[in-house]
Amino acid sequence: MLLLVAPAIGASVLAAAVIGTGRSGSDHFRQIANAGLRDVTSGLQLNGPFYARTDGYVVTELLLQLTTLPGGSPVDMGPETGPLASYVSGSHVTNSLPYDVEWVRGDGDTLLEDGELVRVTVHVADEAASGEGFVVELRPPGGLAATAKLPPRQGQLDTVLSFY
């Protein structure tokens, strides 16, 4: 009798271990999938054209109007917890550019939610070089970045340039 019960107990223990491992792996996979979906459905996007202010030769500021992705999660635009502004050119990369946020349409908190609109002024004067093209990104934690790309420009520039 003992010879018949011992294999059954061993098989039961093995089955429980496999089921437990499968459930643990499934929970881990679910967490990874949810984090990936959150990153794809959360983020910022440009709303219309953006503008560059210049001193006549170098871009000094970018003016961007931003909304959340359609149906996406809210994005915190607070001064300490808001998106990271980055500058990327052929010669260097800088993170943590200074920027100002002006609410065009909002409900009074720091969360940019569906239907709300902010105007962000990114200060690039300390980074930009004359004639150099560059990219500025505003990347919220855990979401997609809004990206503004400026092509290289030579010679004297208008004081305000528009990009589509």
Residue 78 has a pLDDT of 93
- Give the integer Cα–Cα distance in Å for 127 and 136: 11
What dihedral do alpha carbons 8, 9, 10, 15 form, nearest 10°?
A: 90
Residue 100 has a pLDDT of 97
Residue 42 has a pLDDT of 85
- Give the integer Cα–Cα distance in Å for 164 and 153: 16
Q: Which residues pair with 39 in a beta bridge?
A: none
Share of the chain above pLDDT 70, in %: 75
Residues found in the chain: 164
pLDDT at position 4 over 50 = no
List domains and CATH numbers for the chain.
44-163 (2.60.40.380)
Mean pLDDT for the stretch of residues 133-145 = 94
CA-nearest of 47, 64, 42 to 143 is 42
- Give the integer Cα–Cα distance in Å for 77 and 52: 21
pLDDT, one tens digit per residue, over 95-121 is 999 999 999 999 999 999 999 999 999
Residue 48, phi-psi category: left (phi > 0), alpha (psi -120 to 50), beta (remainder): left
Binning pLDDT at 50, 70 and 90, where does residue 67 land?
very high
Contacts of 34 (CB under 8 A, 6+ apart): none
Mean pLDDT of the residues in the chain:
85
Q: At residue 142, what is the residue type?
A: G
Mean pLDDT for the stretch of residues 19-42 = 58
- Give the integer Cα–Cα distance in Å for 21 and 157: 63
pLDDT, one tens digit per residue, over 70-97 is 999 999 999 889 999 999 999 899 999 9
Residue 3 has a pLDDT of 43
Q: Higher-confidence residue: 8 or 136?
A: 136
